[in-house]
Amino acid sequence: MPLPMVHLGTAHGMIEEGLLHVRDFPAFYLGSIAPDGVHMRKDPGPEAKVASHLGTRHTSDLTPVAMFLQRHTGRENADFFLGYVVHVLTDAYWNELVYGPYTARYGADPSPVQTVRQAYYSDTDQIDLLLYRELPWRERVWEYLRQARGQDVGEVLSGQEADLWKDRTLNWYAQQPEKHLPRFGVYVTRVTADGKTYGGLTNIGKKPTIQGENPVGVETYLYDFDGDLYGKEIRVELLDFIRPEMRFDSIGQLKAQLDHDIGKCREIFRDSWIVQEKGKADG
């Protein structure tokens, strides 16, 4: 399911768009991440996770959410419970629109080098870290969270668990290394060097076709570049994901696949360049 920055971003967006009237911002934002406080238990088990998300984890029936909101509307700390509902609904839609299609596509991979869970959280960690670093409202929301205090949610979640999850959220992002890698695989990349921009193919992973214990690495190939960049600083931006890392029976098969990947990279990079230039012209 989505990580805290997605939940906080959804909550923030609903306020900014005027979809919700909130008075207690600290309580609302804490509520929007609180259901995942169940993970602070030593061994929550699947039943506890379902209960903390109001029974919506494996069903499209949102009646329990409507009933929960009705019970808590107008009560003290109502904004905490409103944020709680925003979290549960975000999870429900994410499961339908993002997680379901993601697992289906990954399940079709004939030779995955990571489990679907490993790949999913590698990708979502990267998304959340990017949102944490780039979104302009993040520091203000962090200040709200520092002020907030968790509330008991019946028997499914304690205020202490909500507070523990808040503390984890406040500290987790700052503790992540700058070189936090996304999902293993092949990417279309834009490379900037010496003031010029080139299309590239980047592989992230352990090169499973090569025999031996290979460390995790990042390699970028500039398919239309002829020159020497040794010792120079370059910027590599991931534009699109081509395929997961794969094992091949021979180096020949690997080279044939890379030729295909390069063709795909050229096409995607060309299209991204056209969109970028059109945006400049329209602006």
- Is residue 74 scored above 90 in pLDDT? no
**Residue 189 to residues 14, 73, 192, 215: CA-CA distances in angstroms?**
33, 49, 10, 22
Neighbours of 73 (CB within 10 A): 11
Span 1-6, mean pLDDT? Answer: 92
- Is residue 105 scored above 70 in pLDDT? yes
Amino acid at 103: T
pLDDT at 274 (0 to 100): 56
For 239-268, give the DSSP string. EEEEEE----SSHHHHHHHHHHHHHHHHHH
Q: What is the pLDDT of residues 25-69, one digit of tens each?
A: 999 999 999 999 999 998 888 899 999 999 887 777 899 999 999
Q: What is the pLDDT of residues 197-252, one digit of tens each?
A: 999 999 998 888 877 777 888 999 999 898 888 888 999 998 888 888 888 888 89
Reference 222, options 197, 205, 247; nearest CA is 197
